Amino acid sequence: MANKGNKKHQQFSLEEKMKVVEAVDSGKRKGDVAKEFGITPSTLSTFLKDRTKFEKKVREASVGPQRKRMRSALYDDIDKAVFAWFQEIHAKNILVTGSVIRKKALNLANMLGYDNFQASVGWLNRFRDRHGIALKAVCREDTDRLMNGLGIDKVNEWHAGEIIKLIADYSPDDIFNADETGVFFQLLPQHTLAAKGDHCRGGKKAKQRLTALFCCNASGTEKMRPLIVGRSASPRCLKNIHSLPCDYQANQWAWMTRDLFNEWLMQVDARMKRAECRILLLIDNCSAHNMLPRLERIQVGYLPSNCTAVLQPLNLGIIHTMKVLYRSHLLKQILLKLSSREDQEEVDIKQAIDMIAAAWWSVKPSTVVICWQKAGIIPMEFAECDIESAASEPDTAIEKLWHTVAIATCVPNEVNFQDFVTADDDLIISQDTNIIQGMVAGENTSEAGSEDEEEVSLPEQPKVTITEAISSIQKLRQFLSTCVDVPDAIFGQLNGIDEYLMKRVTQTLVDSKITDFLQTK
């Protein structure tokens, strides 16, 4: 009896249990099957009783066939989401390492509303065991080999083959690239460290972010109207606003979604149809881009997966330059508030939209062309431009501005202007629709709020009349006349605004009834 107590408990894998069940199904006597596999009759009965569970696990592939225990994951919905993503990636023959799975697990956990989930090494090992996944360790040398070997091979193959076929029938004026980026539009310099590396997948910070879509052609001659995605469908700051320098959409996460991207794509297609143009549009294969509508005037070309960092022109400096200009505008506003001793107010969505659009339109054509050349899509001799001057757009004046504001706002010494510019580079910009759909109970990622809670307490901006606007133009003229060396272009822009406003007001007066002028005082 003592020896029996020391007997080691035997465990069987799912595969072994199924073999036992199949042996009984083949017609063998249960007693013979028990002896063949070295199990007791009671254990055999348990296997037969649980056969439905075993078959379901095998059919759903939710447990690896070598798995000996069927204990569910603590975060079962995270586990299912990660495994669905893994199957999708594995089917595309994309290399997946343990660190990549852990990062994706954190990503999906936050999307599902789990703030305390930790994708530890222990979790990864248990996840692998549950699903029978064998991951090969990839050391630094292997990573470098993959990036410098397989990655470069893929890029070279694309340059030598597919891209040549794609651009053969298009001029640089008709070759476009579209891409999204996230923006912490209220970020202040002193909060840079807290925001750096934050993916902002939900929670309070989701109200402080926007997603912006940009699109430009290879010749630098056309930058399309930006699309901004916010969280609130009707923020207070946009009340009575009928014209914006961009298109604005909203959803609960301030992400780009498949529906929003397809709607934008259809609008571009309609515009190209009216202009009787055909264009080539190069995009990455993120989740928002993978089910496109039928297009008449746009040919879509996908950039190779995992190569957008070196093949996507917008990622090679165009979006970065836009962020440099946006952040520098923020710094100027902060400096003005500091000099006038006014309290620093948070940037609202309307102000952010205006500044993002202004920064986008201010990106030089030479910068755009250089980034397309870096991607290897157009030849270096395509445009004669001053590469040095284009590359130095974040100039010394901006650095001086940063230094002044950093001192005044007590920014840590280890934070520099580039940290401030790139603080939101890691923001999630699109949702994993196929994976998350149906898993977020009670939440709809396509719905947007009517107002952000923080905006309710903000004063509503008074409506400006056309008479007040014309008066402001006159004040601007008076101010500029007291300045020295004002460029002629500034006066020209002011004249254009003045002409537009006067045309609006005179048209209104002409359309008015004569009785409106004869009313008694």
Is residue 39 classed as helix, strand or coil in its secondary structure? coil
Asked if the model's pLDDT at residue 342 lies above 80, the reply is no
The total number of structural domains in the chain stands at 4
Do 295 and 365 reside in the same domain of the chain?
A: yes
Q: Is residue 261 included in any domain, yes or no?
A: yes
Q: Is residue 516 included in any domain, yes or no?
A: no
Contacts 24+ apart (CB under 8 A), 361-367: 361/223, 361/245, 362/325, 363/223, 363/318, 363/321, 363/322, 363/325, 364/220, 364/390, 364/393, 365/219, 365/220, 365/221, 366/220, 366/390, 367/220, 367/317, 367/318, 367/321, 367/391, 367/393
Last residue of a domain, one of 26, 60, 94: 60
Do 236 and 341 reside in the same domain of the chain?
A: yes
Q: What is the pLDDT of residues 204-236, one digit of tens each?
A: 455 688 999 999 999 999 999 999 999 988 888
Ranges of beta strands (E only) in 190-313 are 209-217, 227-230, 247-250, 279-283, 298-302
Asked if the model's pLDDT at residue 144 lies above 50, the reply is no
Q: Which residue has the higher pLDDT, 224 or 399?
A: 224
Q: Is residue 342 included in any domain, yes or no?
A: yes
Do 208 and 334 reside in the same domain of the chain?
A: yes
Q: What is the pLDDT of residues 10-45, one digit of tens each?
A: 667 767 787 888 888 777 888 888 888 888 888 888
Judge whether 14 and 65 are in contact, CB under 8 Å: yes
Segment 433-460 mean pLDDT: 51
Do 126 and 265 reside in the same domain of the chain?
A: no
Tell me the sheet residues that pair with 380: none
Judge whether 250 and 445 are in contact, CB under 8 Å: no
Last residue of a domain, one of 25, 60, 95: 60
Ranges of beta strands (E only) in 7-142 are none
Q: Is residue 519 included in any domain, yes or no?
A: no
Q: How far is CA 168 from CA 127, 165, 280, in A?
A: 47, 5, 10
Do 140 and 117 reside in the same domain of the chain?
A: yes
CATH number of 53's domain:
1.10.10
Do 125 and 47 reside in the same domain of the chain?
A: no
Confidence of residue 88 (pLDDT cuts 50, 70, 90): low
- Dist CA 394 CA 225 (whole Å): 23
Q: Which is it for strands 175-184 and 227-230: parallel, antiparallel or unpaired?
A: unpaired
* Domain encompassing residue 91: 75-151
Lowest-confidence region among 17-21, 311-315, 515-519: 515-519
Ranges of beta strands (E only) in 160-234 are 175-184, 209-217, 227-230
Confidence of residue 456 (pLDDT cuts 50, 70, 90): very low
Do 344 and 402 reside in the same domain of the chain?
A: yes
Do 133 and 226 reside in the same domain of the chain?
A: no
List the one residue out of 181, 161, 173 whose CA is nearest residue 227: 181
Do 110 and 180 reside in the same domain of the chain?
A: no
Is residue 279 classed as helix, strand or coil in its secondary structure? strand
Asked if the model's pLDDT at residue 150 lies above 50, the reply is no
Confidence of residue 57 (pLDDT cuts 50, 70, 90): low
CATH number of 85's domain:
1.10.10.60
Chain centroid to CA 220: 23
Asked if the model's pLDDT at residue 498 lies above 50, the reply is yes
pTM, two decimal places? 0.66
Do 320 and 249 reside in the same domain of the chain?
A: yes
Find all residues with CB under 8 Å of 329, minimum gap 6, and list them: 355, 358, 359
pLDDT for the residue 94: 58
Mean model confidence pLDDT for the chain: 77
Q: Is residue 280 included in any domain, yes or no?
A: yes
Do 321 and 222 reside in the same domain of the chain?
A: yes
Judge whether 417 and 394 are in contact, CB under 8 Å: yes
Q: Which is it for strands 227-230 and 209-217: parallel, antiparallel or unpaired?
A: antiparallel
Do 212 and 345 reside in the same domain of the chain?
A: yes
Asked if the model's pLDDT at residue 393 lies above 50, the reply is no
Q: Is residue 352 included in any domain, yes or no?
A: yes
Confidence of residue 383 (pLDDT cuts 50, 70, 90): very low
pLDDT for the residue 471: 85
Q: Is residue 301 included in any domain, yes or no?
A: yes
Q: Is residue 156 included in any domain, yes or no?
A: no
Tokens of 249: 């959409």
